Amino acid sequence: MQGCVLVRYGEIALKSDQTRKWWNKILLDNMKECLDKNNIPYSSIEVLLGRFIVYTDSSLEASNALKNVFGIKSLSPALKMEANYEAIKEKALELSKNRGKKFRVSARRITKEFSMTSNDVNETLGAYIKDQLDLEVSLLKYDFEIGIEFLEGYAYLFTERIEAFGGLPLGVQGEAICLVSSGIDSPVAAWLMMKRGCKVDLLHFKITEEGYKKYLKIKERLQKFSYGHEIKDYIIDGVPYLANTKKKLSENKKEKWVCIFCKRRFLQEAERICQEKGYLAIITGENLGQVASQTLKNLSLLDSTVKLPVLRPLLAYDKQEIVDIARIINTYEISKEKEPKCPFTPLYPMTAGSMEELETIERMLWD
């Protein structure tokens, strides 16, 4: 018998052989990096059909760390043993002691060489444990579950299933740059794109010292999910441009436009970095209608600034949904820390700027 973690992965299983091999390799490397970075000893990792098996004596710690590796759907600290019913029966009985009254057995044959069907195992083993320990089988409301997966001649026994985030292995979808502030939204946007397999680097415009300090802490939290990629970041001092632009706009009674010019500047700088370093897209934390300036009209004005795709993974999320994710990824407590308001935000920002007016102002300002 051997201690291990049963790692279930999701969408990779749907891919062609060739893609699956490539993605599996990336996921495997990311898992190793995660275990190493968290100082969790393991002897090897086996790649099987739809499952990875991590051999380790620290299977609970390993599961909790690997939970943050994208591409993994769920994990169970498990015991690997010969697929022999008598042996399984005794081990399952031992695992069932002192865990509560109601239980169920959930067997699954991933490969089919074991002679009993999953249902046979559920019923026979369930009845045996019930009689031996005077327990009650309850399929819906149970205190504990005995899980068994049969795979390539072995049985894996477990009592816990830890949900992970799913998504795709980080690195299978290329590199993008995310505009990250110190607010709640943009760290979540970066995380969601990481979850879909992108290596994400960050671009922050420093406007206040407090905002910058929060940003640095946010970056650290995001790194805890970026196995397979050391996050690089780019910091630009936003004050000179904003101070100058706000002054010029105010002189021309166009102060309302400050935020649009500010965001356009962000995108232009992001695109310049993308072209220099080879990033494929720009990510922002913008959302439709969350603040007055995030209207469809304004977003289309912003898109016209650059040629590269601007990805907005939060576009259709409700605020609460974003906050829920921010809490899970531990950026929420940082983002919600008080900081001074952006000193350049006008009292009434433009909500529906037209392209014509934008072009007129641009000519007026920079001629």
The stretch near ligand ATP (CB under 6 A) out of 32-40, 41-49, 177-185, 220-228 is 177-185
The nearest distance, CB 78 to ligand ATP, in angstroms, is 40
313 in contact with Mg ion (CB under 5 A): no
Judge whether 41 and 57 are in contact, CB under 8 Å: yes
H or E element in which residue 268 lies: helix 258-277
- Which residues, 6 or more positions from 91, have their beta carbon under 8 angstroms from its beta carbon? 1, 79, 81, 157
Selection from Mg ion, ligand ATP, none that 255 binds (CB < 5 to 8 A by kind) is: none
Q: How far is the CB of 159 from Mg ion (least distance, A)?
A: 44
Q: Which residues are annotated as a binding site for ATP?
A: 179-180, 204-205, 263, 285, 294
Please identify the residue of the shown chain whose CB is closest to the bound ligand ATP: 183
Of the pair 9, 266, the CB lying nearest ligand ATP is at 266
Which of 149, 185, 269, 271 is in the footprint of ligand ATP by CB under 6 A? Answer: 185
Nearer to ligand ATP among residue 129 and residue 218 (C-beta) = 218
Q: Which amino acid is at 245?
A: T
| Dist. CA 79–CA 157, nearest whole Å | 5
Taking CB within 5 to 8 Å according to partner kind, which of ligand ATP, Mg ion, none is near residue 205? ligand ATP
Inter-axis angle of helices 239-251 and 355-366, nearest 10: 100
Q: Which is nearest to 8 in space by CA: 223, 119, 156?
A: 156
Q: Smaller CB distance to ligand ATP: residue 25 or 319?
A: 319
Alpha-carbon distances of 230 from 170, 198, 227, 273, 325, rounded to whole Å: 11, 12, 8, 17, 22
Closest residue by Cα to residue 197 from 287, 328, 72, 322 = 72
Residues 30, 59, 63, 186: which binds ligand ATP (CB under 6 A)?
186
Q: Does 345 bind ligand ATP (CB under 6 A)?
A: no
Residue 184 in contact with ligand ATP, rule: CB under 6 A: yes
C-beta of residue 22 within 8 angstroms of C-beta of residue 9:
no
Stretches 115-123, 181-189, 200-208, 328-336: which one binds Mg ion (CB under 5 A)?
181-189
Q: Does 126 bind Mg ion (CB under 5 A)?
A: no
Closest to ligand ATP by CB, 20 or 196? 196
Site for ligand ATP in 217-276 (CB under 6 A): 263, 266
**Closest distance to Mg ion from the beta carbon of 305 (Å):** 18
Longest pairwise C-alpha distance within the chain: 88
Q: What is the dihedral of CA 346, 350, 351, 355, to 10 degrees?
A: -150
Cβ proximity to ligand ATP, 62 vs 222, nearer residue: 222
**Encoded tokens for 37:** 């970075």
List of E strands, the chain: 2-9, 44-48, 51-55, 72-82, 102-109, 136-137, 144-151, 154-158, 162-163, 175-179, 199-206, 233-237, 282-283, 310-311
Residue 183 makes contact with ligand ATP by CB under 6 A: yes
Alpha-carbon dihedral angle through residues 32, 37, 41, 42, given to the nearest 10 degrees: -10
Binding-site members are 179-180, 204-205, 263, 285, 294
- What is the three-class DSSP state of 102? strand
Query: Cβ distance 67 to 38 under 8 Å?
Result: no
Which of 76, 284, 305, 331: binder of ligand ATP (CB under 6 A)?
284
Q: Pick the binder of ligand ATP from 3, 169, 171, 285 (CB under 6 A).
A: 285
Binding pattern for the stretch 289-308 against ligand ATP, x by CB under 6 A and - elsewhere: -xx-x---------------
Q: Which residues bind ligand ATP (CB under 6 A)?
A: 179-181, 183-186, 203-205, 207, 263, 266, 284-287, 290-291, 293
